[in-house]
Structure 1
Amino acid sequence: MMSQEQNDLITRTGATTPCGRLMRMYWQPAALVDELLGERPVRPVRLLGENLVLFRDEQGRYGLIDRHCAHRGADLAFGRLEHGGLRCAFHGWLFDTSGQCLETPAEPSGSQLCANIRQRAYPVVERSGILWAYLGEGQPPAFPEIDCFIAPDSHTFAFKGHMACNWLQALEVGIDPAHASYLHRFFEDEDTSAAYGRQFRAASASSELPMTKILRDYDRPIINVEQTEYGLRLIALREIDAERTHVRVTNQLFPHGFVIPMSTEMTITQWHVPVDDQNCYWYAIFTSYSTQVDKNKMREQRLELYELPDYISRKNKANDYGFDAGEQRTSTYTGMGHDINVHDQWAVESMGAIQDRTKEHLGQSDKAIVQYRRLLRQEIEKVGGGEKPMLFLDEANARSIQGPATMDGIGPTRGWETYWMEVDVKRRRGAPWAAPVPRDIAGKVHHLTAAE
């Protein structure tokens, strides 16, 4: 358990809070590129507790500026896109993507008022189907050269979903290997050939066993946690028998991301981004190491589950997440359908808007949660002391973070350490976009193989 003060430290992300200052030292997902398609590319955005408006001008440049006009505070989300910027519908003041006021048309001819008016603005870049914003001060960090950022557009797909809770409890479900055997338990296995685009439904690598059966039958994983230069590596081992062990390797990508295997061909890199202290969005990039991603199918699958324009799950607290008692008895552990995102959403939203960690009791299976919170406090303290936090990279060091390696497969009970690394290296080297092999993994594989 922790004190209320400690809980506030790691959950609150307002501009003046210690964790908020940490978060502002990283690029944050602000919107999907898809959200600014169409005839009027303007979107209100709430990010880290700040009210902003995102737009694309006639030249294709992105701008992210304060939502309320510097003149008298009218809402720029209802502004007009014209003449190189976003024009307030109240008095016609015009702002470009840098926040500079270009025109104050109600003022006398020759007035220079606009030259001294600047709307607060933040830089925006496009990466892998997501528009990223930097809300911090000074030069933004470089993007690490991880797989989801270096893969071509044809091999990635991005989506998002809203959760009505604090970002931290939403993140922590993704770095909890034990919960999948219960929260995502299915009592019957499906044809794995129809699993494209669906988590935990495919067969495990090097095996005909479906993931649903593995998670259901082997519910006491051995969990190993390693600190890395990008965050944490989590290894969950489910021993099937003396010869075979299921190995699942996932990663926590500091500060609020994680990377998990979706299938033998695809990974998911996901971030839980604070809207404010009581809401967050998960943003996910699906990365394929083999064929091009079927974007239409992936999008259609998810649009059946989420309401636009705010990407709110059709199953939510208002309708008890679709809970069905009959289904809970016979089909799924939760009785909330087959979308695991709904299961996760119920779990984290049921904790309250901000989980009260003063009342929790952690066990051995929560070791990744414990280590992540320790790491988060450590990096908050570093920023408070004027240091750069973990994964704040410059261009010269962007290549130092690659991968990170993931794995979901059945290997030998003795020698699984070498097995999972070799499978990951083979997959990455076989990618048509020639993704590099992370140096820490390549080095270990070479060393272990030589030792044999």
Structure 2
Amino acid sequence: MISAEQNDFMTRVGPGTPAGQLLRRYWQPVALSDDLAGPRPIRPVQLMGQHFVLFRDDKGQLGMLDRDCPHRGADLAFGRLEDGGIRCAFHGWLFDAKGNCLETPAEPATSKLCTRIRQSAYPVVERAGTVFAYLGEGEPPAFPDFDCFVAPDSHTFAFKGLFECNWLQALEVGIDPAHASYLHRFFEDADTSESYGKQFRGASADSDLPITKVLREYDRPEISVEPTDYGLRLTALRKLDGSSTHVRVTNVVFPQAFVIPMSAEMTISQWHVPVDDTHCYWYAIFTSFTGPVDKQQMREQRLKLYELPDYTSRKNKRNNYGFNVEEQLTQTYTGMGDDINVHDQWAVESQGPIQDRTREHLGSTDKGIIAYRRMLVKAIESALAGEGAPMLIDAAQARTLTGPPSIDGIGQAGDANDYWQSADRERRLKSDWASARLSA
């Protein structure tokens, strides 16, 4: 157990909070590129309790500014995109993507007021269909050469969803390899040839064995946790018989992302980003090692499950997550449908807006969560002391951080490290873009 004070130390992220100071030193996903499609590419953004307006100006440049106009506080998210910036609808003050005030048209023609006005602006970049922003002081860290950032745009797809709970408990569901055997259990195995774009519905690599069957029938994984340059590597082993072992390798990328296998051909890189202390978005980048991603199919699959513009799940706590008792008895462990994100959402939202960790009792399978919390607390304390923290990297360091390897497959009993390293290399050798990087 931890104390209430320790819990607040890790979870609260508003301006001036210890964890908030740490997370503001990293790039944070704030929107999908798709959110800025259409005739009016403006989006209000709430991040770590602060309010911003994200926009693409009439020249295609991205900008993110504080949302309240510095004149009299009107909402810039209702502004007009014109004349090289965003214009407040109240009095017509115009700001460019850097926060410079270009015009104060209601003022006298001789006024120099605009030269003394500047709106707070934040660096923004696009990577793999996702817009990232940086709220911290000084230069932001470099983006690592991870697969999701170096794969061609054609081989990535991005999506997101809203969770109504604190970011930390949402992240921790991905640091728990044991839960998949229960929370995501299916009582019948679907046709794996129909699994494209669906998590835990395909076959494990190097076999035709459905992942659902492995998770259902082998529910006591042997879990190990290893520190890495980017965070943590988690390995879960399920011994199937005397000659084969199911190996699942997942990764925690500090401070708040994980990389997991979706199938033999695709991985998921997922961030849990605080909206405020009691809401967060998950942002997922799917990366294909084979052919281009069928983005239309992936998006259509998910739009059946989520409502825009806020990407709220159609199954949520207001309708009991679609719970069906007959389904729970005969089809799924939760009775909440096939979308594992809904399963995760129920699990973490049912813990409360901010989980009361003074009441929890961790077990041996929670070793990844324990290791991550220790890393998080140490990094927060370092940030408060003005020192460094994991993954605050420069361009040279970024080039050394690749992968990270994420595997779900079945190998011969023996050294699991040999298997997943070999499986990862073979996957890359078969991939046009990844094999080119191996030989570089």
- Check whether the contact 1:151–1:435 (CA below 8 A) recurs between aligned residues: no
Instruction: State the match for 2:316 in structure 1.
Output: 316
Cα deviation code 1:190-246 (max 9, x no counterpart): 110000000000011111210000000000000000010100000000011111110
Cα deviation code 1:296-352 (max 9, x no counterpart): 000000000000011000000111000000100011000000000000000000000
Query: Which segment is superposed worse, 171-180 or 420-429?
Result: 420-429
Q: Which amino acid aligns with 1:363?
A: G
SS at match of 2:366: helix
Counterpart CA distance in 2 for 1:420 and 1:286 is 20
- Check whether the contact 1:402–1:436 (CA below 8 A) recurs between aligned residues: no
> In the alignment, is residue 241 of structure 1 matched against residue 241 of structure 2?
yes
Counterpart CA distance in 2 for 1:2 and 1:46 is 29
- Check whether the contact 1:180–1:215 (CA below 8 A) recurs between aligned residues: yes
- For 1:276-291, what aligned pairs fall within 5 Å after superposition? 276-291=276-291
SS at match of 1:185: coil
Instruction: State the match for 1:218 in structure 2.
Output: 218
- For 1:319-398, what aligned pairs fall within 5 Å after superposition? 319-398=319-398
Cα deviation, residue 106, structure 1? 1.0
Counterpart CA distance in 1 for 2:414 and 2:55 is 55
Superposition TM-score, scaled by structure 2 size: 0.98
- For 1:259-270, what aligned pairs fall within 5 Å after superposition? 259-270=259-270
Counterpart CA distance in 2 for 1:325 and 1:434 is 45
Instruction: State the match for 2:151 in structure 1.
Output: 151
Counterpart CA distance in 2 for 1:371 and 1:392 is 19
Counterpart CA distance in 2 for 1:11 and 1:102 is 39
- Check whether the contact 1:141–1:394 (CA below 8 A) recurs between aligned residues: yes
Counterpart CA distance in 2 for 1:371 and 1:408 is 22
Instruction: State the match for 1:194 in structure 2.
Output: 194
Cα deviation, residue 382, structure 1? 1.3
Counterpart CA distance in 2 for 1:360 and 1:228 is 27
Superposition TM-score, scaled by structure 1 size: 0.96
- Check whether the contact 2:47–2:276 (CA below 8 A) recurs between aligned residues: yes
Query: Which segment is superposed worse, 11-20 or 213-222?
Result: 11-20
- Check whether the contact 2:142–2:394 (CA below 8 A) recurs between aligned residues: yes
User: Which residues of structure 1 form unaligned runs of 5+?
Assistant: 440-452
SS at match of 2:377: helix
Instruction: State the match for 1:5 in structure 2.
Output: 5
> In the alignment, is residue 128 of structure 1 matched against residue 128 of structure 2?
yes
SS at match of 2:419: helix
> In the alignment, is residue 303 of structure 1 matched against residue 303 of structure 2?
yes
Counterpart CA distance in 1 for 2:436 and 2:278 is 38
SS at match of 1:183: coil
Q: Following superposition, which runs of at least 4 residues in structure 1 exceed 6 angstroms of deviation? A: 436-439
Instruction: State the match for 1:15 in structure 2.
Output: 15
Instruction: State the match for 2:293 in structure 1.
Output: 293
Aligned residues: 439
Counterpart CA distance in 1 for 2:106 and 2:297 is 50
Instruction: State the match for 1:227 in structure 2.
Output: 227
Counterpart CA distance in 2 for 1:25 and 1:389 is 9
Counterpart CA distance in 1 for 2:276 and 2:361 is 26
Instruction: State the match for 1:444 in structure 2.
Output: none
Counterpart CA distance in 2 for 1:379 and 1:430 is 38
Q: Which amino acid aligns with 1:77?
A: A
Cα deviation code 1:26-70 (max 9, x no counterpart): 100010000001000000000111100001101100110011110
Cα deviation code 1:237-283 (max 9, x no counterpart): 00111111100000000000000000000000000000011000000
Amino-acid identity (%): 67
Cα deviation, residue 386, structure 1? 1.2
Instruction: State the match for 1:445 in structure 2.
Output: none
User: Which residues of structure 2 form unaligned runs of 5+?
Assistant: none
Q: Which amino acid aligns with 1:75?
A: D
Cα deviation, residue 435, structure 1? 5.2
- Check whether the contact 2:165–2:348 (CA below 8 A) recurs between aligned residues: yes
SS at match of 1:355: coil
Counterpart CA distance in 1 for 2:338 and 2:313 is 13
SS at match of 2:236: strand
- Check whether the contact 1:402–1:437 (CA below 8 A) recurs between aligned residues: no
Q: Which amino acid aligns with 1:17?
A: T
Instruction: State the match for 2:115 in structure 1.
Output: 115
SS at match of 1:389: coil
Counterpart CA distance in 2 for 1:43 and 1:438 is 39
Over the aligned positions, Cα root-mean-square deviation in angstroms equals: 1.1
SS at match of 1:205: coil
Q: Which amino acid aligns with 2:97?
A: T
Q: Which amino acid aligns with 2:8?
A: D
Counterpart CA distance in 2 for 1:80 and 1:92 is 9
Cα deviation, residue 415, structure 1? 2.7
Counterpart CA distance in 1 for 2:35 and 2:168 is 25
Counterpart CA distance in 2 for 1:98 and 1:334 is 48
> In the alignment, is residue 39 of structure 1 matched against residue 78 of structure 2?
no
SS at match of 2:434: coil
- Check whether the contact 2:289–2:434 (CA below 8 A) recurs between aligned residues: no
